[in-house]
Amino acid sequence: MADVESVAVVWQLASRISDLTFEGALAGYVMALACHAVEFASRRATSTARATAAVPADGSAVALLTRDGDDPAETGGSGEGSASLTDRPGWGERFGRAAVLVAGVGFTMNVLSLITRGMAAHRAPWGNMYEIVSLICAVAAGAWLVAVNRTKVRRIGLFVMFPIAVLSFVGGTVLYTPAGSLVPALQSYWLVIHVLAVAISSGMLMLSGVASAMYIVRTRRDRRRDGHTDSRSVLDRLPSPDILDKVAYRTAIIAFPLFTFAVVAGALWAEAAWGRYWGWDPKETTALITWILYAGYLHARATSGWRGSRAAWISILGFASIMFNLFVVNMVVSGLHSYAGLN
Amino acid sequence: MPPRDSIAARNDEDLLQSHPARNGPRGALARGLAVLRNVWRRLTSMRTALILLFLLALASLPGALLPQWSTNRPKTAQYILDHPTIGPWLNRLGFFNVFSAPWFAAVYLLLFISLVGCLTPRSWELLRQIRTGPPASAPRNLSRLPHHATVTITGDATAAGRQVADRLRHAGVGGWRTATRTEPDGAVVVAAEKGYLRDVGNLVFHFSLVGLLLSVAVGGMFGYEGTVLVTEGDGFCASSPIAYDDFRPGPLVNPTTMTPFCVDVDAFHAAYTPQGQATTFRADIRFQTGGDLGTDTWRRRALEVNDPLRFSGDRLYLLGHGYTPTFRITYPDGQVRSYQQPFAPEDSMFTSQGAIKVTDPPGYSAADLRKNQLAIVGIFAPTAVVRGGIMSSGFPSLLSPGVAVDVYRGDLGMASGIPQSVFAIDTAQVANGLLVKKAHANLSPGQSVTLDDGTKITFTGAKQFVSLQTSYDPAQDWALVSVIALIAGLMASLLIKRRRVWFRIRPDAAPFGTAAPARHGLCIEIGGLARTDQAGYGREFASLVALAPGTESTAAGTVPAETVER
């Protein structure tokens, strides 16, 4: 009996740690949001272009000249400050770096929270709305950290951290459900595969959607500025449209096949659980709409006249449909996907 | 698909104008053909496909927002009742049956015609490209390309060209297709291209979409679903639609060719948490199919949620469960009979509602039979809790079962030919006075209620029932094959990059117009073009440059290249 009791204590402990680390993650995201806000508003702008010559390190007899976004100048690890090591970074720069650091801490806490949650409930920690939202936040934060490390996009951090912070706040308050077992309908290895794929693709597409929204803001600002060379705006400090488009697109081309796989995995699960692989359940229908929108986005990017802002709008619509599917369809429209755990 | 765009954008008017002053029937025919051609070009253009794609998303939207007859019949009916002005119109326009509405079909059929019309010529074009490799001609000025470099070496141009082509073909995965040509001024050009798989993937993706649509259509036409409630200890044999409580066939199903099989349900087990949340469901069944039917061989199996029984194309699912209360009726003439009937669960604690209908009570003449039919109507609760005179269930398992029933006697109205719900009596019969309420009682197992004529009704307990579903979809394997091809094609088309590179090996020439010619040497100009996605070509190009002879080591005689600014 003592054994059983000690096991129960461990479970409770894991559950408690999970809750605490989730709060830590939320705190991290909110702090990152605040730091990015300071960075975004700070006067010391970043407009000084840093010309980093692409000198081959090995001194070989080859001269390279590329217009590609992948060259060393653009992938400098710490983003904007990389070239000016000798200068004292401005406040904006300092807060920006701090924001990424804090977001990293939040992300780590978020992952820890998910792991301990899984230990407490003895199952994959994505069985209800709270857990799924937590997972989406972790993926979005992770994708953001990767993007910040690879490209100069840190200046949109405010707008990336905002939905993450809001989502994790909603998750920790409205959606929170204590760790528990799942109804038989959800006891399937397909839960592990299907929901994980949905959450990862959703988290990544959140980043893609924010980048697209910022693309629209930035290109609008650029258009307005043309002719008024002396007008200034904080929006000028957003990354260039090229970089934003690249972030949105590269995230989407990884997330879209994954989302496709998620829908297919859902269909395979539906075949095993409900007797048909597709039955126009509201969740399925909305997932199809999302899929069509992202397929449209990728096609639009390759169609003259649709590139740029139009494609970006489609990407935003796509992400809106993901959020609609996650919240409205689960909580308002009734269907077979009733796992919210809120009734 | 961008190349198609330019074709489609070219208006056919100029085509028409090139044959002016054509009159008469022949002219009309030509004009008609031109119009048709124009329509076809517009339909198969990328822009039209995009618009149709969005129309499809838009057309699906009511399917997600409004209740649908196919997925939620009662809610749909309620919605129409709640919206008396707009509801019937929406119904007439197919908004509650979106996915079989003609306008929905129109959108996806047009989209798929557009798709096939767009893809077929592209397939031939791609096949030609793969067969012939890249064109051997190179842009005149390679320094204008997004990626370019210059290398100077000494050696023989033809040999260097051969070496470059050879190295390219063996470089990396996927390999480059190369073509070599000597230009009039003696320069050797090696043109190379790779990433054909990207376009192969693109085509595979789109054609598997068509395949998926066809599989869905075939499945819808020839597939069927049948559901049946089976109480523990009972069974059913499915060889025709009659075996099912509800049978939903596709329009082309031939009921005589259904796979025959028999299922007996021995027991159903459910486990619950103390809060009443289910943790496991399991039905122990015996089944026979195929050769077993002739030899009376039964196979045992546990049927669980998420784990259907599959046999020769058919699948048997455990979809739900509930309770079947049992009664014993002692008739005035002393005859005793047992009755049972599944009751429909109303809430998560399995408060259930239903009716037991006795259409042939013994001891009556045929003339009196219709006046003495019995019905036991009411609530069953596996764990009965009575609050304020109303019985409900406090827990989903069979802890202290109870029924709260009304007993009616009279004409059930079953002979009228109008189908009745098995869970309720026809209240019109009660209103007409043909069916009269004789008693009301809350009963625990073993308790009974006696009617005025001496009929004694005893509640004997309850069994569990399971809701089973048979599904048949002849095309679902094809749908699976289609989506696997679809994902593979999608990944290839998104992740493989189409690249071009040219090496122009010019003997004794000035690189990119610099003043001093590299004497006794070769100047290799290298230019790279990303045909689809620029991303990542920078680094890749650097490794391509390294393929030029003489760059792997700074051997004697190699003249360093000039840095070129654009």
Average confidence (pLDDT) over B239-261: 86
Q: For residue B535, name the pLDDT band (cuts at 50, 70, 90).
A: low
**Among B residues 323-362, those touching chain A with beta carbons less than 8 Å apart:** none
Q: Which residues partner with B288 through β-bridges?
A: B262
- Cα dihedral A207→A213→A219→A223 (10° resolution): -170
Residue (of B295, B125, B308) closest to B203 by Cα position:
B125
Q: What is the token pair recorded at A144?
A: 């953001």
Q: Which of A123, A285, A286, A332 to mutate to test the interface with B (most CBs of B within 10 A)?
A: A285
For A282, the closest chain B residue by CA position comes to B64
Among B58, B88, B118, the domain boundary falls at: B118
B101 and B6 housed in the same domain: yes
In whole angstroms, how far apart are CA B268 and each of A264, B281, B307, B445, B447? 32, 7, 15, 20, 25
- CB-CB: which of A188, A285, A329 is closest to B60? A285
pLDDT tens for chain A, residues 1 to 343:
556 677 788 888 999 999 999 999 999 999 999 999 998 888 654 444 333 333 344 433 344 444 443 433 333 333 444 444 455 677 888 899 999 999 999 999 999 999 999 999 889 999 889 999 999 999 999 999 999 998 888 989 999 999 999 999 999 998 898 888 888 888 889 999 999 999 999 999 999 999 999 999 999 888 887 766 666 777 888 888 989 999 999 999 999 999 999 999 999 999 998 889 998 888 998 999 999 999 999 988 888 788 889 999 999 999 999 999 998 888 877 666 655 443 3
- Residue percentage of chain B with pLDDT more than 70: 89
Test A273 with B150 for CB contact under 8 angstroms.
no
Q: What is the pLDDT of residue A338?
A: 57
Q: What is the pLDDT of residue B517?
A: 47
Q: Does A188 touch chain B if contact means CB atoms closer than 8 Å?
A: yes
Q: What is the pLDDT of residue B7?
A: 36
Enumerate the residues of chain B whose CB falls inside 8 A of the CB of residue A304. Answer: 2, 5
For B281, the closest chain A residue by CA position comes to A184
Q: Choose the weakest-confidence range: A2-11, B133-142, B406-415.
A: A2-11
Average confidence (pLDDT) over B467-491: 94
B38 and B112 housed in the same domain: yes
Average confidence (pLDDT) over B420-424: 86
DSSP H or E stretch at residue A286: helix A282-300
pTM tops 0.95, yes or no: no
In whole angstroms, how far apart are CA B458 and each of B84, B149, B441, B447, B448? 46, 97, 11, 6, 4
Enumerate the residues of chain A whose CB falls inside 8 A of the CB of residue B56. Answer: 292
Residue that wins the pLDDT comparison between B162 and A134: A134
Contact pairs from chain A to chain B, CB under 8 Å = 194
Q: What is the token pair recorded at A85?
A: 């090591």
Q: What is the pLDDT of residue A340?
A: 43
Q: Which residues of chain A form beta strands (DSSP E)?
A: 63-66
Torsion A284-A286-A289-A293 (CA) sign: negative
Test A277 with B225 for CB contact under 8 angstroms.
no
Q: Choose the weakest-confidence range: A143-147, A229-233, B188-192, B257-261.
A: A229-233
Q: What is the pLDDT of residue B497?
A: 84
In a domain, B511, yes or no: yes
Q: What is the pLDDT of residue B184?
A: 83
DSSP H or E stretch at residue A123: none
In a domain, B71, yes or no: yes
pLDDT digits (tens, 9 = 90+) for B116-128: 888 888 889 888 8
Residue that wins the pLDDT comparison between B165 and B550: B165
Distance from CA of A84 to the nearest CA of B (A): 24
Q: Does B49 touch chain A if contact means CB atoms closer than 8 Å?
A: yes
In a domain, B350, yes or no: no
B110 and B19 housed in the same domain: yes
Q: Given the structure tokens 């618009």, which residue do they identify?
A: B51
Enumerate the residues of chain B whose CB falls inside 8 A of the CB of residue A63. Answer: 149-150, 561-564
In a domain, B157, yes or no: yes
The answer to whether the beta carbons of residues B470 and B479 sit under 8 Å apart is: no
ipTM over 0.90: no
Test B60 with A289 for CB contact under 8 angstroms.
yes
d(CA A32, CA A251): 21
Q: What is the pLDDT of residue B432?
A: 87
Q: Does A61 touch chain B if contact means CB atoms closer than 8 Å?
A: yes
Distance from CA of A70 to the nearest CA of B (A): 5
Residue B280, classed as helix, strand or coil, is strand
B111 and B140 housed in the same domain: no
B40 and B93 housed in the same domain: yes
B101 and B25 housed in the same domain: yes
The answer to whether the beta carbons of residues A193 and A265 sit under 8 Å apart is: yes
- CB-CB: which of A292, A299, A333 is closest to B46? A299
d(CA B194, CA B145): 17
pLDDT higher than threshold 50 for residue B20: no
The answer to whether the beta carbons of residues B337 and B315 sit under 8 Å apart is: no
Test A282 with B64 for CB contact under 8 angstroms.
yes
B95 and B14 housed in the same domain: yes
pLDDT digits (tens, 9 = 90+) for B307-322: 999 987 789 999 889 9
pLDDT digits (tens, 9 = 90+) for B378-399: 999 999 999 988 999 999 999 9
Test B147 with A271 for CB contact under 8 angstroms.
no
B96 and B153 housed in the same domain: no
pLDDT higher than threshold 50 for residue B48: yes
- CB-CB: which of B57, B71, B532 is closest to A289? B57
d(CA B4, CA A303): 10
Q: What is the pLDDT of residue B508?
A: 63
Q: How far is CA B151 from the centre of its chain?
A: 55
- CB-CB: which of A256, A282, A333 is closest to B494? A256
Q: What is the token pair recorded at B40?
A: 């076809």
CATH number for the domain that contains residue B540 = 3.30.310
Enumerate the residues of chain B whose CB falls inside 8 A of the CB of residue A269. Answer: 306
Residue that wins the pLDDT comparison between B67 and B558: B67
**Among A residues 317-336, those touching chain B with beta carbons less than 8 Å apart:** 329, 333-335
In a domain, B93, yes or no: yes
In a domain, B306, yes or no: no
For B528, the closest chain A residue by CA position comes to A66
Contacts of B201 (CB under 8 A, 6+ apart): B488, B489, B490, B491, B492, B493, B494, B496
Q: Which of A245, A259, A277 to mutate to test the interface with B (most CBs of B within 10 A)?
A: A277
Distance from CA of A339 to the nearest CA of B (A): 13
Mean model confidence pLDDT for chain B: 83
In a domain, B141, yes or no: yes
d(CA A58, CA B183): 34
Test B61 with A289 for CB contact under 8 angstroms.
yes
B85 and B10 housed in the same domain: yes
For B46, the closest chain A residue by CA position comes to A303
Domain count, chain B: 2
Number of separate helices (H) and strands (E) present in chain A:
11, 1
Owning domain of residue B43: 2-118
Q: For residue B39, name the pLDDT band (cuts at 50, 70, 90).
A: confident
Enumerate the residues of chain B whose CB falls inside 8 A of the CB of residue A180. Answer: 273, 277
In a domain, B446, yes or no: no
In whole angstroms, how far apart are CA A225 and each of A219, A231, A232? 10, 7, 8
Distance from CA of A244 to the nearest CA of B (A): 13
- CB-CB: which of B70, B315, B487 is closest to A264? B487
B44 and B106 housed in the same domain: yes
**Among B residues 208-247, those touching chain A with beta carbons less than 8 Å apart:** 216, 225
B16 and B84 housed in the same domain: yes
B79 and B153 housed in the same domain: no
